[in-house]
Each structure stands twice: as structure tokens, then as C-alpha cells.
Chain A
């Protein structure tokens, strides 16, 4: 089962508290997850803490699942950071700003685990 979702990224207090501590596990915990509402998580058959694969036209990333019932159906939120930006839209539509909110995404359950920050960045250096 794949969920068609609209992905936004943004700030959270935990992400902000680790802005200058990004090598810590606290940053990984604060940013490597995707929030959907409980009904969407149920549709995917995924519980909080299990893994989700988020795929867009611009990349794919594995993150933990988290429930947030403030989200309407089909709205996915990943805190700003390297995990969210693995799948955001680089096109700036001629005004300088990339598409960091409103990215069409497909979300599914996966057995994979999220990469830690250094492993994620290492991929870019080695590819």
C-alpha cells in the first residue's frame, strides 16, 4: 500500500534545540521522522516508531513514523533537516526559493532503518 501525500517540512522546538548540535543523536531523533495522522498511519499498517519510505520525484528517504492528529488526511510533515531535504524540490521557480513545502510524495512501510546524519551525508560525497 502506498499513500499519496503532500509533504511539507518545517521547524520544531526539538529540531531548533539541536540546531547547533547536529552530530548528536538528539538531532537524529528530532528530525528523522515523518508525521501523518493516525488514520493515514493505520492505512499504511504502520505504528509509531516503525519505518516509512518517502519517495518524491527528487529522491527517497527512510524515516520513522510518528502520529500527529493535527495533520489533515494526506498531509505529511518532516522536520527541516537533511532527511526532509533528501526529498524536497530543488526548483526555485525563478525566485530563489526551493520547494520546501508542498512536494507530492508517495509513502509506504519499509523494513529499512533511517540513516544517521553522517551516513546520509557520506552518500552524497561518495556517489
Chain B
């Protein structure tokens, strides 16, 4: 029986590339090295609710049709729409993302990734102040201070700490966890916080206050720091600043606590400024804890093809970018989109009710391997192969390192890339040439 080593896990942004899978009769029968999330990913084709066939909603019910019919119906929706939102494209390959961008250009659509409800504000922060980063390999080999700010890798990236950060052993970090100081900053004592050397509990939504106080301390302006900031004592702020200043190499990993809380992108902007200040004393970097396994890849592909990482509007015939105006949620909440194509992401589950209610009113095309809340709103459903298991392709890890995902088993389902190509061809046909 074939045993495939070093398979890449296409679930979260850690993109672990050391998974061993055993394949028997085109089924994965054994999985080694994967975490709870990865394990669920690799057994998905056999245990989850697979979309078995293309479907079109007729009289309120989704009924099976052929791929050809579904592609035709989807292309018709796209051609008749004056303001299409194309959303997602993050649990898929860069090759598919490239075609999705071409489809958006062809149809004058607005295309956005899951960063809209994730690290979008981090992209804005990077544009304001930069984002000094490093590869996870560098962190593994060098970092002696690791900060997790507003993120909970025990739950969201379960192997992150053992492969890349707190617990890993590297070239200059031979003692592993004993040689690293681990700090967690959060609003509640998470399972990650329980593992920290120092847990700093802050008042929810006050991240920017703490960042500013830390910057004051690092820059030698202790006098301006009040006795308590963000629910944290001045003494603790000063101690934390000393830890960061005295580190040989520190990394701030940050998550949704930073991007989704009050001040949003200004928090990431503040973290970037803090990193810049720390680099006057030691070496420090920042890395966003990315969720979907290839949301980083969307940012990369979109940037090299359009100049912008997300929220790209092709309505004017050229790429236009203004998150807050062209973000997926904004365009839904303003009830501006008159059709949507959602692929390799689940807006139905992850957008606020008001945005979801608008999705329910407009024609929705879904491309996905599995049924989910978006399927409940969809009018055309196109099943896709599971990239990283049934199809190969490239994905970018959270530190923007590209990795090649392998094909592990065969499938009859079309890939996202092929579906996007078919849609481009059909749209061109309906528009009469080009």
C-alpha cells in the first residue's frame, strides 16, 4: 500500500508539511503527525457531508444537475449581474486564485478574500507602517522570546508551538521550551495562556493602549505611563517592556484579538511601530496567525496580479482598492451586491447577520467540496475537488513561504481552477466572443 510522506496539510495557515498518509484503494486509511484539525481534514472525503453533484435551486429546493448545466447557470448569473461580489478563494491553490481574479476582471466584479473577516486590518497596518517579519524557520532557530497577542494557537494552530515556536528546538535554541520565554496577552485565560511564563490579561478592546504604553517604556518615557493601562499595572508594563528589550530575538504572533477588536487596523499599526522601536535595542519581528491555509497566498497572488492584496473592485475596468468601501462585508451590508460567487470559504457562517441576510436575497453561486451554511443560501452549487488531497497546487504558509501541496488520491470532481476556467469560457461565450 502506498505510504505518502511529507504531505502538506491544507487546513490552517501553519501548513504543516510533515504529514504521513497511507492510501488503500484510493482511500486514506492512516494519518500520522496531523493535529485534530488536520486529522479531520484528511478524513473529510469519507466522513463529511460532501456535495456529491452540481445543483441548482428550483422552487426553493436544490436539485441535481450536470456540471455543464451548473456552469451555464452560474455564468448567466455573472453576465446578468451589474455588481457581483466574488468572495473567498482561500482554501484553494494559488493557481485557482489566479483564475478567480481573471474571472473577476472578465465580469467587472469585486473580489475579496477571507482576510475581510480575519487579517485584513493587518494588511492595512502593513501598508501604513510595514510588517517586519521572518520565516517560521528563523523563529524556530533563533527566537528566545515568543509573544502570542490576541491569538490562541492551542486551539487555532495546534502544532504551531511544537513545530515553529514555543516548544520547538532549533539551531540556536537547543533547549526548546526551557530556552524560550513565552508571553501571552489576551482578554481571557485561554488554553494557550495557561502554558505561558507570563500571562498579561488586558481589558477587551484596549490593545492599542497597552501597545502605546509599551512603546513609551521601550523608548524611555516611563513618566507618561499611568498607574494602570488597559487593566494592566504600570509595573507589569515595565517588566514586559524589559523582557522584550532584553530579548536576543523576539517575535510577536498576533491574531483576531488584535485585528477584530476596537481600533482594528490601528492595533496592527501599533504592533508594527513597537517592533520598529524594539529593533533599536534587539531583533524583533511580527507574524500574523493566518487562519485559512492559503489566505496568505490570496494576498500574494492578488498583489502581483492587481497591485492590491484584497477587496479589489474591477467595476471601473481596472483594479480599485478601498477597504471599507470595497470590502466584502461593506458591499453586502450596503445591499449593493446583486449577485455573489463564494468559493473555498463560508460567508454564510462567518459574516454578521446583516450581510448574510443580503446574501439570502441575491443569487449566490457556491463552489466548495462540502455543504455548509452558504449552501443553504446558494442558488447554484458547484462541487469541487479537495485541494491538497485530491488536487495538487501551491499554497503560502502564514510566513509567506510557498509550499507545493501534493495530490494524494484520485477524484472525479473538478478542481476550483478548472471550474473558474470553465466559468471564464462560458462568460465569454455568453458575452459574444472576446
Q: Do A and B form a real pair?
A: yes
Cβ-neighbour of A23 out of B265, B353, B372 (below 8 A): B372
The distance in angstroms between the C-alpha atoms of A89 and B261, with both chains bound, is 11
The distance in angstroms between the C-alpha atoms of A89 and B216, with both chains bound, is 32
A-B contacts, CB under 8 A, total: 188
The distance in angstroms between the C-alpha atoms of A68 and B352, with both chains bound, is 24
Q: Are A21 and B40 neighbours in the complex by a CB distance under 8 Å?
A: yes
The distance in angstroms between the C-alpha atoms of A58 and B352, with both chains bound, is 9
Contacts of B205 in A (CB 8 A): 6, 101-102
The distance in angstroms between the C-alpha atoms of A120 and B372, with both chains bound, is 12
Answer yes or no: B373 CB below 8 A from chain A CBs: yes
Number of residues on chain B facing chain A (CB within 8 A): 68
The distance in angstroms between the C-alpha atoms of A111 and B261, with both chains bound, is 32
Binds A, one of B78-86, B168-176, B322-330: B322-330
- Which B residues between 18 and 55 are near A, CB-CB below 8 angstroms? 36-37, 39-41, 44, 47-49
Q: Are B353 and A19 neighbours in the complex by a CB distance under 8 Å?
A: no
Answer yes or no: B296 CB below 8 A from chain A CBs: no
With contacts A21-B370, A22-B373 known, what are 17 further pairs, Cβ within 8 A?
A6-B204, A16-B12, A16-B155, A16-B156, A17-B39, A19-B37, A22-B346, A68-B188, A72-B187, A72-B188, A87-B353, A95-B121, A95-B324, A98-B117, A100-B256, A101-B256, A102-B205
Q: Are B121 and A97 neighbours in the complex by a CB distance under 8 Å?
A: yes
Cβ-neighbour of B49 out of A11, A23, A68, A121 (below 8 A): A23
The distance in angstroms between the C-alpha atoms of A95 and B265, with both chains bound, is 7
Contacts of B349 in A (CB 8 A): 22, 80-82, 85
Q: Are A97 and B260 neighbours in the complex by a CB distance under 8 Å?
A: yes
Q: Are A71 and B40 neighbours in the complex by a CB distance under 8 Å?
A: no
Contacts of B372 in A (CB 8 A): 20, 22-23
Give B contacts to A, CB under 8 Å.
11-12, 36-37, 39-41, 44, 47-49, 116-117, 120-121, 124, 152, 154-156, 158, 187-190, 193-194, 201, 204-205, 256-257, 259-262, 264-265, 291, 310-311, 323-324, 327-330, 333, 346, 348-357, 359-360, 369-373, 376-377
Listed by A's residue number, 8 A-B pairs whose Cβ atoms lie within 8 Å are: A16-B155, A19-B11, A20-B40, A23-B371, A90-B354, A95-B120, A95-B264, A125-B360
Cβ-neighbour of A85 out of B124, B356, B377 (below 8 A): B356
Cβ-neighbour of A18 out of B40, B264, B329, B359 (below 8 A): B40
